[in-house]
């Protein structure tokens, strides 16, 4: 579905009409996909879309989620910058959750001391003191 701007230039249309035409063509194709039992899935940041388009995409995915003959992947609202930011945010969030879990398993709730062993054999038995206030700021869980 790429090329909406080129289509507008070559057809002497007003700006924005190419995207509208592309959207209508996509909706027609999605109707056929539904009738043929194709599962439709959109890849990209749907939050970057205008609400009517985003809602239509979500409706198509929900309506076809149980279809299993063929899967049609549609990439849209994708920028490499957005993808990198999203990936880094997810990786940081996963690490934060993992760290919070590990700390919760090893914190003496009365003293606030994290007790654990380092991987290095020389450092077994070393205790790491982490105040609750520092922990809140380090792991981004709020004040």
Neighbours of 38 (CB within 10 A): 18
Q: Residues 76, 58: contact at Cβ < 8 Å?
A: no
Going by C-alpha positions, the residue among 21, 31, 81 that lies closest to residue 60 is: 31
The residue with tokens 């063509």 is: 25
The yes-or-no answer on residue 108 being catalytic is: no
C-alpha separations of 142 from 83, 135, 137 in Å: 26, 9, 6
Catalytic residue among 2, 82, 121, 123: 2
Q: Residues 110, 80: contact at Cβ < 8 Å?
A: no
C-alpha separations of 68 from 36, 40, 42, 86, 142 in Å: 10, 10, 16, 29, 43
Q: Which residues are catalytic?
A: 2
């Amino acid at each position: 579905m790429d090329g909406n701007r080129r289509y507008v230039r070559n057809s002497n249309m007003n700006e924005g009409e190419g995207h509208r035409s592309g959207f209508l063509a996509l909706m027609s194709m999605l109707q056929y996909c539904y009738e043929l039992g194709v599962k439709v899935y959109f890849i990209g940041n749907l939050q970057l879309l205008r609400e009517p388009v985003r809602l239509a995409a979500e409706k198509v995915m929900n309506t076809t989620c149980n279809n299993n003959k063929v899967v049609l992947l549609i990439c849209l609202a994708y920028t490499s910058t957005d993808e990198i930011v999203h990936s880094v945010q997810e990786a940081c969030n996963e690490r934060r959750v993992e760290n919070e879990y590990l700390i919760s398993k090893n914190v003496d709730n009365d003293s606030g001391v994290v007790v654990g062993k380092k991987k290095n054999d020389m450092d077994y038995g070393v205790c790491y003191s982490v105040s609750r206030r520092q922990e809140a700021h380090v792991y981004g869980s709020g004040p």
